Amino acid sequence: MHLPSRAARRASLWSIATPLLALAFVVAACSSSAASTTPIAPSASTALASATPVPTVAPTPSPTPAPSFPLTLTDDEGGTVTLAAEPQKIVSLTPAVTETLFAVGAGPRVVATDDSSDYPAEAKPLPDVVTFGTVDVEKIVSLKPDLVIAGGAGFTAADAIAKLRDVKIPVLVVSTPSIEGIYKDIELVGSAVGATDEAKTVTTKMRADMQAIATAAQAESAKASTKPRVFYDVGYIDTTGQIYGPAEGSFLAEMLGLLGVDVITGDKVTYEIPIEKLIERDPQVIILGVNAFYKPTPETVAKRTGWKALTAVKTGDIRSVNDTEITRPGPRLAIGMHNLALAMYPDLRLPPVS
Amino acid sequence: MTARTIPGAIRRAGFGGRFRGRTTVIGLVGLGLLAVLMVIGVTVGSTQIGPADTLAVILHRLTGIDLGRTWTDATETIVWELRLPRVLTAAVVGAGLAIAGATFQGIVRNPLADPYVLGTSSGAALGAAIGILLPVSFVALQLGIVNVLAFIGAIVAALLVFRVGGAGRSGGMTRLLLTGYAVGSILAALLTMAMYVSGTNLRTIFTFLLGGLGGASWERLLVAAPVIIVACAAVVARARSLDGLLLGDSAARHFGIDVRRERGILLVLASMATAAAVAITGLIGFVGLVVPHVVRLLVGAPARRVLPISAIAGAILLVAADLVARMLGDIPVGVVMAMLGAPFFLVLLHQARTGYEL
């Protein structure tokens, strides 16, 4: 499942809000979303084991020739996408895909993105074809793209994907709950745009960076006799007291696990954790995932109903971290992992990740 | 109002003594059931806490008596800071909405009236949405800007409908009802627009529309409860006026009721109770519409019986529904209430041997 900062909220929103949205405005996406995700959640250890040894330089392109066009690919939701030639006009409907396209060198061929695609800087001025979650299908059609890449699990409205396919526009849907899945998605996007080797280079470096961070963090974690209980705060609704954390089995929970902490997770589908359960699990550290739309502070957290019973609140161990890189399943995930590791272990010495 | 002072036609409609003894029994049984449900409500939750510890924590907090401290700080927080205010909020809001519903049904003489008939719900929802979308946060008495704007929105909508709809005048209530509908439509359209542009805040607005007790806290309860309780007590004190209004304006005048004044006062009181409830729990439906009807089927039509029994029944329904909702993983309380309450209501309607008219 996609879990960039906005997506986390939006994706779970779709699953809850579908009935009302259908009533409130007919244009709403009536995807039954999250439930349809195929859980491919390898444990932390398999993710580590499958990481390739640390290369100091980028590997030379593999001798196996990249698949040539015409090309047929199977996407994360089982859809088959046939591409007659290398796509020259690409539309990205998620911020993570936009980042991936630029990272594999296909940036100049991107003609439009969604409204939350804010990285890299070149992506910002591109026309938006998704506004507040609503896909402007007509605008996409008018751009005559030869490839649209959408988010699965309800991130991109399912009816919009169906409409685009109806008018014979190839739509590749990417969606994953796991770190390993993120590497696969980057490679899938790379193959689709004729940048297989570039994508492989990106993921090889990501795997190496992630493993280096995990190894260092686990060594730091091993110094203490027990793993610290950590809650990563993804969102909080003051009027209802609803608390959102890393979904069970999500890549965010997996990342925290790789850092050698005892992760306190939210519900697999809704991301929610009831306050009573949070008190029972009693986090020793709270990490606030701060972004443009969610700006909690240690002071506001301490005032939340019932939170003063938490050890982290009593000891004041509430830390803030910019969550955009951490929760966006794209090529900057290792940077997010780096920031998360430093938030967890401020004294950790890590080589810079670019 | 006693049976002696009212005409036979009214007595036959259930104003007589047929239900008198029964009302006291139902009231006492209801209070007992409410007490039991509230104790269960505080004991049950996603964390296992034994009834002994639960009661010991409450006793300790209320009286300072310590019968051997066997519980942890976390247990104390869960019982005292989370569950108790939540259960009490459910009881107060359930009672308030039921009384408000009974009042509005009587005033507009329409069985489909509910606490939101004056556009209160749309006003509150729009106020809350504005509060959610405003880039400022403001907290006073632990009431966020959302709660405050929801309250203001509800009151403004009710006053607007009240003025434009000519509630102060004599005459039929059709105009008031339709004005409520029209003003509500405008506010709902603005709300839809606010939701459309709300982006990531959509879920926050949506949860307010669903209504629920997850946001309950002592601070919010202590601000809203006095408003609800005082307004409801004042309505109960005016039960006789409400009975008169239910009979129609001219009949009410014969009983010596100042129709315009009493109607105005009752509308304002019921709107205050509704607005205070909505501000802390969002839009909770069903209880305000159905509970008064259930109560009338059980104890007859006089407001002096309907109002107090509605309060007890409303509290029971919301406390029970919230309890079930929490046991099912905090699903929306409105869903549980309708699933529990509607079949019960249907059975009562079916069993009512004499036809039922408001």
A328 and A270, same structural domain? Answer: yes
Same domain, residue pair A169 and A246: no
Tell if the CB–CB gap between B78 and A133 is shorter than 8 Å.
no
Q: Which two tokens stand for residue A166?
A: 């109806």
Distance in angstroms (rounded) separating the CA atoms of residues A16 and A34: 10
Does residue A229 contact residue A283 with C-beta atoms inside 8 Å? yes
Whether pLDDT at A47 is above 70: no
Query: Per residue in A265-290, pLDDT tens?
Result: 999 988 999 999 999 999 999 999 99
In a domain, A214, yes or no: no
Flag whether residue B217 sits within 8 Å of chain A, measured between CB atoms.
yes
Q: Do A132 and B196 make contact, defined as CB atoms within 8 angstroms? A: yes
Flag whether A28 is in a domain: yes
Selecting from A13, A275, A306 the residue whose C-beta is nearest the C-beta of B202 gives: A13
Predicted local distance difference test score (pLDDT) of residue A25: 33
Same domain, residue pair A178 and A240: no
Q: What part of B 219-278 touches A (C-beta under 8 Å)? A: none
Please indicate, yes or no, if residue A354 is contained in any of the structural domains.
no
A241 chain-B contacts, CB cut-off 8 A: 214-217
B195 part of contact set with chain A, CB < 8 Å? yes
Q: Which residue of A has its CA nearest to B278?
A: A239
Which chain B residues are within 8 Å of A10, Cβ to Cβ?
Answer: 200, 202
Instruction: Decide which of A9 and A134 is more confident.
Output: A134
Q: Which structural domain range is residue B174 located in?
A: 3-351
* Rounded-to-integer distance, Cα A237 and Cα A197, Å: 44
Residues A30 and A99 in one domain: yes
- Structural domain total, chain B: 1
Q: What is the pLDDT of residues A117-132, one digit of tens each?
A: 999 999 999 999 998 7
Contacts of B358 (CB under 8 A, 6+ apart): B105, B109, B110, B111, B246, B296
Do both A149 and A23 map to the same domain?
Answer: yes
Q: Could you tell me which of A103, A322, A54 has the C-alpha nearest to residue A213?
A: A54
- Does residue B11 have a pLDDT over 50? no
Mutate to test the interface with A, among B61, B72, B77, B328 (most CBs of A within 10 A): B77
Query: What average pLDDT does the segment A58-72 reach?
Result: 66
The shortest C-alpha distance from A23 to chain B (Å) reads: 10
B322 touching A, CB under 8 A?
no
> Does A134 lie in the same domain as A278?
no
A240/B128 touch (CB, cutoff 8 Å), yes or no? no
Query: Residue B329 has what pLDDT?
Result: 79
Query: Which chain A residues are closer than 8 Å to B82 by Cβ?
Result: 275-276, 305-306
Rounded to the nearest angstrom, the minimum Cα separation between B12 and chain A is 44
Q: Given an 8 Å threshold on Cβ–Cβ distance, is A277 in contact with B204?
A: no
Per-residue pLDDT averaged across A301-329, rounded? 94
| Same structural domain, A44 and A164 | yes
CATH number at residue B96: 1.10.3470.10
**In a domain? residue B13:** yes
Structure tokens given for A239: 């009027």
Whether the ω angle into residue B292 lies within 30 degrees of 0, i.e. cis, is no
- Is residue A211 in some structural domain? no
Neighbours of B240 (CB within 10 A): 17
In a domain, B252, yes or no: yes
> Is residue B357 domain-resident?
no
The answer to whether the Cβ–Cβ distance between B46 and A276 falls below 8 Å is yes
In a domain, A351, yes or no: no
The full 3-state SS of chain B, as one line of letters, equals CCHHHCCHHHHHHHHCHHHHHHHHHHHHHHHHHHHHHHHHHHHCCCCCCCHHHHHHHHHHHHHCCCCCCCCCHHHHHHHHHHHHHHHHHHHHHHHHHHHHHHHHHHHHCCCCCCCCCCCHHHHHHHHHHHHHHCCCCCEECCEEHHHHHHHHHHHHHHHHHHHHCCCCCCCCCHHHHHHHHHHHHHHHHHHHHHHHCCHHHHHHHHHHHHCCCCCCCHHHHHHHHHHHHHHHHHHHHCHHHHHHHHCCHHHHHHCCCCHHHHHHHHHHHHHHHHHHHHHHHCCCCCHHHHHHHHHHHHHCCCHHHHHHHHHHHHHHHHHHHHHHHHHCCCCCHHHHHHHHHHHHHHHHHHHCCCCCCC
Residue A335 domain boundaries: 222-344
Is residue A39 reached through a cis peptide bond, with omega within 30 degrees of 0 on the bond before it? no
For residue A148, give both structure tokens.
């649209």
Note the pLDDT tens digit of each residue in B58-112.
888 888 877 777 788 888 888 998 899 999 999 999 999 999 999 999 988 888 8
Per the listing, tokens 């409409």 go with A163
- Rounded to whole angstroms, what are the CA distances from A38 to A4, A130, A157, B188, B219? 18, 25, 17, 38, 44
Interatomic CA distance for residues A47 and B51, integer angstroms: 45
Assess whether A134 and A173 both reside in one domain.
Answer: yes
Chain A residues closer than 8 Å to B195 by CB: 24-25
Mutate to test the interface with B, among A6, A18, A114, A239 (most CBs of B within 10 A): A239
More confident residue, B227 or B203: B227
Greater confidence, B73 or A304?
A: A304
Would B334 be classed as within a structural domain? yes
- pLDDT grade for B17, boundaries at 50, 70 and 90: low
pLDDT score recorded for residue A333: 96
Q: Are residues A147 and A244 in the same domain?
A: no
Selection from A101, A127, A301 nearest residue A192 by Cα: A101
Same domain, A145 and A20: yes
Q: Which residues of B touch A282 (CB under 8 A)?
A: 74
| Model confidence at B14: pLDDT above 60 | no
Taking CB atoms and an 8 Å limit, are A306 and B209 in contact across chains?
Answer: no
For residues A199 and A228, state if they share a domain: no
Instruction: Please report the pLDDT score of residue B355 as a whole number.
Output: 63
Is B166's pLDDT higher than 80?
A: no
Candidates A240, A274, A305; nearest CB to B207: A240
Residue A353 belongs to some domain of the structure: no
**Total domain count, chain A:** 2
Q: Residue A334 sits in a domain of what CATH number? A: 3.40.50.1980
Q: Please say whether the beta carbons of B191 and B125 come within 8 A.
A: yes
In a shared domain, residues A162 and A111: yes
Q: What pLDDT, on the 0 to 100 scale, is given for residue A4?
A: 41
| Residue bearing the bigger pLDDT, A220 or B21 | A220
Q: Is B177 exposed, middle or buried (0-12, 13-18, 19+ CB in 10 A)?
A: buried
Residue A179 lies in a domain: yes
Closest CA to B96 of B114, B118, B71: B114
Residue A318 has pLDDT above 80, yes or no: yes
Per-residue pLDDT at B12 exceeds 80 = no
Encoding tokens for residue B222?
Answer: 């202590």
Minimum-distance CB partner of A309 among B77, B144, B209: B77
pLDDT reported for residue B140? 55
Q: Is residue B238 part of a domain?
A: yes
Q: Is residue A231 part of a domain?
A: yes
Q: pTM above the 0.80 mark?
A: no
pLDDT at A44 > cutoff 80: no
Taking Cα atoms as reference points, which of B219, B280, B237, B261 lies closest to residue B99?
A: B237
Residues A20-33 have a mean pLDDT of 33
For A224-243, what is each residue's pLDDT tens digit? 999 999 999 999 988 888 89
Question: What is the average per-residue pLDDT within A40-52?
Answer: 38
Selected residues 45-104 of chain B with any CB under 8 Å from a CB in chain A: 45-47, 73-74, 76-78, 81-82
Contact state of A309 with B74 under an 8 Å Cβ cutoff: yes
Residues of chain A positioned with their CB less than 8 A from the CB of B81: 305-306, 308-309
Is B190 an 8 Å CB contact of chain A? no
- Mean pLDDT for chain A overall: 83
Query: How far is the C-alpha of A126 from the C-alpha of A123, rounded, in Å?
Result: 6
Across residues B278-293, what is the average pLDDT? 92
In a domain, B358, yes or no: no
ipTM of the complex: 0.70
